[in-house]
Chain A
Amino acid sequence: MAVTDADVPPPLLDIPKAKEKKYDRQLRLWGIGGQMALEETHVLLINSGSGVTGVEMLKNLVLPGVGQFTILDSAVVSEADLGVNFFLEDASLGKFRAAETVRLLMELNPGVQGHAITEPLETFITKDDGLTPFNLVVAAAPIDATVLERVQTHSQTLHVPAFYFHSVGYLSSLSLLLPPAFPIVDTHPDSTATTDLRLLRPWPALSRFAVEKTAGLEDGTMSAPDRAHIPWACLLLHYLEQWKRQHDGKVPNTYKEKCEFRNLVRAGDPNEENFEEAYAAVLKTLNPPTAPSALDAASPAFWVIANAIAQFYAKHEQLPLPGAVPDMKAQSADYIALQNIYKSKARDDCAEVVASVRELEKQTGRSTKQPVDEKEIENFCKGAAHIHLVHGRPFQIARAGQMIAFGDRAKAMAMELTMPESLIGLHIAFLAWDEYVATHSTPASQSGGVGLKILGSGADDFAIDTQRVTGTAHKIVDSLIKEAGTFVEDPDYSEVKDRVGKFCMEIVRAGGGELHNIASLTGGLLAQEVIKVITRQYIPVDNTCLFDGVASRTQVLRL
């Protein structure tokens, strides 16, 4: 094909704009769509305690350009803050911590708006529409249980995602509260995971192409260069036909059969690169198509498409073709032709789904003014095998003088307790810490009120508070085991208690203070999860992540 000068864009026209340049390294991950979602977001941080983790999280959101953020915190900057918080300076001493951190965070990105609210949390939270401006709320422990409940109710009523986190000494945890059904289409699966070539069930156009490209392969009339450039997908289709003739029309199914089949392919030509590629692709690509399992309620457009896809699956026993073809050694024209066969099949499949969507719109009486976006249907078809659905779950909130009910998670949690490597003991230690705060705190505004009471914060509290909180944690363990209706025998039981006790001791050791490294790491995890939730890309944590900075490892538990 001749290329005229008119085809080539004028020089420098396509150069990225300033913003694209600045955000280049992240746009390569979440694209313009993700960036726009981020820029439309207003995040609220309800800060407390030593208050570093939440600010570090905001740093990681301001840098990539979150739209707005607000810090709700009535604390005044102390000397201890200066030693642990990077977004304060010596001149901040005695000023409101929220205002000072907002000011220094905003220096990071002129495109981001920051706000500080310094009124006491307990009065702010009682206002009816206090939380409405925010798309996402992040609450730091320690926090009054009634305030956390208020955040939870707000989140559940308006489907606003919320986070609750702890960061004390070497240990931290974060929990994510999502709406009851939070679907994600753009999960960014690994490229090898998305390859779906339908070699076990080729359609006529694909079979014809393979026959054409392998003609003369067996009788030796094919030239050596042609032979060396048969795309491996065609080689596999060719040998599958051969295999079926020898095996009553059946395709290789078991691992053993696939290995046998693989050797048949290799024997075709032990030296050529494309035969080697075909050999290597056997185990990965010769799998029957499978459908995802979890699809049930929520986001209208999403579920209309999901329903149409289900119809497609019922009819064809396979999902719409994604249409991408991995690179394989071939002549350029052959590869492009093969690519087009896949693309046009993917387009046909997508068209069928679009037709079903339109039919469903009619049946359900959806407004014809706002039809489901075709682009959205196309994306769904492409990612159909990797759609992910998270069922949001509430926080486990410790209240004064009440035992926590674990409900449907009790059995799984009790089982987890006995795993020596599990970090569930850390979750229980934090629950015990929360219960202590709930039991011993009184609102500072009340006469004689002490505010939030923190374990181990006094010079002589270490031993006695460790004992106290360990005692509470052990009660939680017993009540969990009881609720699960199981029984844990010694030595397992003593080991469980020992593990929980050690986490309690480390927590009290820090006296409620943060280590900057752990705060920074946890702030990184929080920001990452916020970004995934906002952009609806990649898969957010479901629903609690525990971090142990002593052993340098994390664990995610569904609680």
Chain B
Amino acid sequence: MAATLQPEGVSRTTNGGDDGESPARWKYLNTLLGRAGAYSDPTEFIPGDAPIMNIKNARILVIGAGGLGCEILKNLALSGFRNLDVIDMDTIDVSNLNRQFLFREKDVGQPKASVAAEFVMKRCPGCKVTPYVGKIQDKDEDYYMQFNIVICGLDSIEARRWINATLVGMVDEENPESLKPLIDGGTEGFKGQSRVVLPTLTSCLECQLDMHAPRAAVPLCTLATIPRQPQHCIEWAHILKWEEERKDDVLDTDDPEHITWLYQKALSRAREFNIPGVTYSLTQGVVKNIIPAIASTNAIVAASCCNEAFKIATSSAPYLGYPGTNNYMLYTGDSGIYTYTFEHQKKSDCPVCGNRPKAITLDPESTLGEFVESLAERPESQLKKPNLRTAGKSLYYSTPASLEESTRPNLKRKLEDLLEDGEVIAISDPAFQIDFQYIAHFS
């Protein structure tokens, strides 16, 4: 198994020498890789040049050059990897500087990917880092085929789902090189996780989607009429008041004037209802959906991800994600130090990597519109712009506009008028490259 994952170097040369680099630089790495491990599989791991060449020739894609991405690039460069690519569409903000250590105050406003790549190449001369400033969706399968391993340090679930579905879709059973291990890290405050996916062979990020259930949204009527929490007042200003009074301005959550405006609206509403606790900082937090982030947790999670990449590339020790073994490490650091490392099971009805339609119980009296809305909230679907059809007809299309218009009347119709009990509904959402099926059972 592991052998097929290792990049097969075109040219096999010994370490050092060929590129004028002294082998003394890699003394610690070469010592460890030159000796059998207590846990390494003797049929997979041959101490010496082979594992060293494997890391040297591997090409790794790093998605995200933020808190995790900076750490990941550094870790890979100092683990002997020489060919790295990094994608990020963001620019550097002053609030990144408390953890994104490849950036300085003078870099604020510059693209993260290129500043990070330049810094790592300057500090680690033998390592080539190619930046791409843009979206992962800009790239096609040919691009992703070039890499041996993909490592994600993202804060967006949407981007994770996209790359996951793309890598699962690329697997061609005839071609072992098409199977790209996907390593994913995530953090929130003192907590985080790292996980390894071997697309189609082990549980994928979509199988694990319910581990990251969306936060329950506050009903609009609460915001509009019965606010109780400071957050309700802020969301009221954010969702309702801005639309009402400043419809023509595009809300920019990084513009202090905009945040101040929302803060003051929220504050006066809070006073009206005697609700304490609206502050500028909270307003910013709610509106931008800020997740607390610190250097130490990023270091832990990023290093765990890179440790797995190193083990996959060298076979020098068992790695997370080998089929039938643990593939997920949950980390919690707020009360002592705690990790839970386990095997997340592949789901046969996973919309991305499974092959079986998922059973769903529906109220025949409810409308198609209610069902479409519920797709956004269901932990296992979380879809934004779904398209729905049965074998016989189009139920509803969010896009394109012409189809949306012609299928919109269906939203008001009852499910029993549109579906048979036991009929299969195919659902897709281009935003996530997702396509899956439900079998509808009427309650």
Residues of A within 8 A of B (CB): 1, 3, 7-9, 11-12, 14-16, 18, 20-29, 50, 56, 59-60, 63-65, 78-80, 82-86, 89-90, 107-110, 169-170, 187-188, 229, 327-333, 335-336, 456, 462, 501-503, 505-506, 509-511, 513-518, 520-521, 523-525, 527-529, 531, 538-542, 545, 549-554, 556
Q: Is the CB of B338 within 8 A of A83?
A: no
Q: Is the CB of A63 within 8 A of B101?
A: yes
Q: List 12 additional contacts besides A28-B292, A545-B336; criterion CB under 8 Å.
A: A16-B281, A28-B189, A28-B285, A64-B98, A90-B125, A229-B226, A327-B228, A505-B37, A510-B32, A550-B37, A550-B317, A553-B329
Pick from B32, B263, B272, B279: contact of A3, CB under 8 Å? B272
Distance, CA A528 to CA B300, complexed state (A): 10
B143 at interface by CB-CB < 8 Å: no
Distance, CA A327 to CA B222, complexed state (A): 11
**Within B346-369, which residues are at the interface with A (CB < 8 Å)?**
none
- Can you spell out 29 A-B residue pairs with CB atoms less than 8 angstroms apart? A9-B267, A22-B95, A24-B98, A29-B292, A59-B295, A60-B295, A63-B97, A63-B295, A80-B26, A170-B37, A327-B229, A332-B228, A335-B228, A462-B35, A509-B37, A513-B28, A515-B79, A515-B310, A520-B303, A521-B300, A524-B295, A524-B298, A525-B300, A528-B297, A528-B300, A538-B333, A538-B334, A540-B336, A556-B338
Q: In the assembled complex, which residues on chain A have CB atoms less than 8 Å from the CB atom of B297?
A: 524, 528
Interface residue count for B (Cβ, 8 Å)?
88
Distance, CA A80 to CA B32, complexed state (A): 13
Distance, CA A16 to CA B98, complexed state (A): 15
Q: Is the CB of A539 within 8 A of B336?
A: yes
Given contacts A16-B281, A22-B95, is CB(A527)–CB(B296) below 8 Å? yes
Q: Is the CB of A25 within 8 A of B99?
A: yes
Which of B70-78, B133-141, B157-165, B377-385 has 4 or more CB atoms under 8 Å from chain A?
B70-78
* Least Cβ–Cβ distance between A423 and chain B, in angstroms: 11
Q: In the assembled complex, which residues on chain B have CB atoms less than 8 Å from the CB atom of A336?
A: 228, 273-275
Q: In the assembled complex, which residues on chain A have CB atoms less than 8 Å from the CB atom of B229?
A: 327
Q: In the assembled complex, which residues on chain B have CB atoms less than 8 Å from the CB atom of A328?
A: 228
Distance, CA A509 to CA B300, complexed state (A): 23
* Least Cβ–Cβ distance between A42 and chain B, in angstroms: 19
3 closest residue pairs by CB, A with B: A513-B28, A524-B299, A521-B303
B22 at interface by CB-CB < 8 Å: yes
Given contacts A7-B268, A60-B296, is CB(A24)–CB(B281) below 8 Å? yes
Distance, CA A330 to CA B22, complexed state (A): 71
Distance, CA A408 to CA B317, complexed state (A): 36
* Least Cβ–Cβ distance between B35 and chain A, in angstroms: 5
**Within B230-264, which residues are at the interface with A (CB < 8 Å)?**
256-257, 260, 263-264
Q: Is the CB of A14 within 8 A of B123?
A: no
Q: In the assembled complex, which residues on chain A have CB atoms less than 8 Å from the CB atom of B50?
A: none
Chain B residue, CB-CB nearest to A174: B337
Given contacts A86-B74, A327-B228, A517-B307, is CB(A554)–CB(B190) below 8 Å? no
B111 at interface by CB-CB < 8 Å: no
B293 at interface by CB-CB < 8 Å: yes
B374 at interface by CB-CB < 8 Å: no
* Least Cβ–Cβ distance between A143 and chain B, in angstroms: 19
Q: Is the CB of B190 within 8 A of A538?
A: yes
Q: In the assembled complex, which residues on chain B have CB atoms less than 8 Å from the CB atom of A85?
A: 78
Residues of B within 8 A of A (CB): 22, 24-29, 31-32, 35-39, 71, 74-75, 78-80, 94-95, 97-99, 101, 104-105, 123-125, 189-190, 194, 222, 226-229, 256-257, 260, 263-264, 267-268, 271-275, 279-281, 284-285, 290-300, 302-304, 306-308, 310-311, 317-318, 320, 326, 329, 333-339, 341
Distance, CA A44 to CA B194, complexed state (A): 31
Distance, CA A25 to CA B291, complexed state (A): 7
Q: Is the CB of B26 within 8 A of A83?
A: yes
Q: Is the CB of A517 within 8 A of B75?
A: yes
Chain A residue, CB-CB nearest to B329: A552
Q: Is the CB of B337 within 8 A of A514?
A: no
* Least Cβ–Cβ distance between B178 and chain A, in angstroms: 26
Given contacts A83-B78, A516-B78, A552-B329, is CB(A21)–CB(B94) below 8 Å? yes
Q: Is the CB of A521 within 8 A of B307?
A: yes
Q: Is the CB of A517 within 8 A of B189?
A: no
Q: In the assembled complex, which residues on chain B have CB atoms less than 8 Å from the CB atom of A550?
A: 37, 39, 311, 317-318
Q: In the assembled complex, which residues on chain B have CB atoms less than 8 Å from the CB atom of A12?
A: 256-257, 260
Given contacts A7-B268, A11-B257, A22-B98, is CB(A513)–CB(B27) below 8 Å? yes
Pick from B32, B98, B279, B338: contact of A515, CB under 8 Å? B32
Pick from B38, B190, B256, B310: contact of A505, CB under 8 Å? B38
Distance, CA A518 to CA B297, complexed state (A): 14
Q: In the assembled complex, which residues on chain B have CB atoms less than 8 Å from the CB atom of A551?
A: 318, 326, 341
Counting chain B CB atoms within 10 Å of each CB, the highest count among A82, A83, A108, A456 belongs to A83
Q: Is the CB of B338 within 8 A of A516?
A: no
Pick from B29, B35, B101, B228: contact of A59, CB under 8 Å? B101
Q: In the assembled complex, which residues on chain B have CB atoms less than 8 Å from the CB atom of A329?
A: 222, 226
Distance, CA A456 to CA B80, complexed state (A): 21
Q: Is the CB of A188 within 8 A of B334?
A: yes
* Least Cβ–Cβ distance between A352 and chain B, in angstroms: 23
* Least Cβ–Cβ distance between B28 and chain A, in angstroms: 3
Q: Is the CB of B228 within 8 A of A330?
A: yes
Distance, CA A84 to CA B74, complexed state (A): 10
Q: In the assembled complex, which residues on chain B have CB atoms less than 8 Å from the CB atom of A539?
A: 334-336
